[in-house]
Amino acid sequence: MAGQTPPTMQDVQSAPAEVALSIDRVGVKHLMLPLVVRDRAQGVQHTVARVDLGVDLPAAFKGTHMSRFVEALENWKEELDYHSFKALLTDIRQRLSARKAYVVFRFPYFLKQASPKSGSPGWMSYECTLTGEMAGETMVFTLAVDVPAMTVCPCSLAISDQGAHSQRAMVRVMARFTGFLWLEDLIEIAEASASSPVYTLLKREDEKHVTESAFAKPTFVEDVVRGAAQRLDRHPQVNWYRVEVESFESIHAHSAFASIEKTK
């Protein structure tokens, strides 16, 4: 009725928790967001990100305020760089009165690829992840990319009179770094470490070249992960990395894998 004071809405999230345990991360997942990332050849490219946002929650509180995560994205300017990522982490931590904030962006990154002999163009898509963590004023950023590649088994090639088994592998490169790190650098490191890159479009002369060059460079998963680690060791901006290689074996009912992690 007119003149009456509306009832005060109860803040249930700030009430005491029935079970007084701290939560490491609580938040929202799979928000879709337009994204602009830097492209070494074109300057920038537009893509779409799947975003996870989270904070820590002290034992005293029943819940967090989920709507505030979405509100934080209202200030997002679409372009992904150090300053925008830091601003988003800072905003989330302040809005949620949290000690720690977490942000994960997952997005496809596209490169125009030319076939090795015919030069036929095709778009390759690489799944990328940028993770940011902020505790106080300390921030940690990790850039990761999944790169498909081809491996030819050295053992199979050595013991067979004709041929050898070959298969697609996935090389996942994760890196922490100083300054700016191109996604293209990580993609090139992964592809150079395998028997051969894989391609979107291949003509007959391309298939011949890819097959022959791959069989001239047989690699175990151990070879691929060591080669990638060696190249990351030499990269001047990378100060931590983890490389994981999974080979989807064509004649075995299992995958083979290897990983190396190092702080430089």
SS3 219: coil
- Closest by alpha carbon to 202, among 211, 193, 191? 211
Could you tell me how many helices (H) and strands (E) the chain has, helices first? 6, 9
pLDDT of residue 5: 58
**Residues of the chain by 3-state class (helix, strand, coil), percent to 5:** 25, 40, 30
- Residue 153 and residue 169 in contact, taking contact as beta carbons nearer than 8 Å: no
pLDDT of residue 59: 78
| Beta-bridge partner residues of 146 | 127, 172
Give the model confidence (pLDDT) of 145-188 as tens digits: 999 999 999 999 999 988 899 999 999 999 999 999 999 999 99
- Closest by alpha carbon to 95, among 13, 216, 210? 13
Q: What percent of the chain has pLDDT over 70?
A: 92
- Residue 204 and residue 187 in contact, taking contact as beta carbons nearer than 8 Å: no
Residue 77 confidence class, pLDDT cut points 50, 70, 90:
confident
Residue 18 confidence class, pLDDT cut points 50, 70, 90:
low
Residue 62 confidence class, pLDDT cut points 50, 70, 90:
low
Domain boundaries, the chain: 24-263
Give the model confidence (pLDDT) of 24-55 as tens digits: 899 999 999 999 999 999 999 999 999 999 99
Q: For strand 138-152 and strand 166-177, is the pairing parallel, antiparallel, or unpaired?
A: antiparallel
As a whole number, mean pLDDT of residues 205-225 equals 97
Q: Which fold has domain 24-263?
A: Urate Oxidase (3.10.270)
pLDDT of residue 150: 97
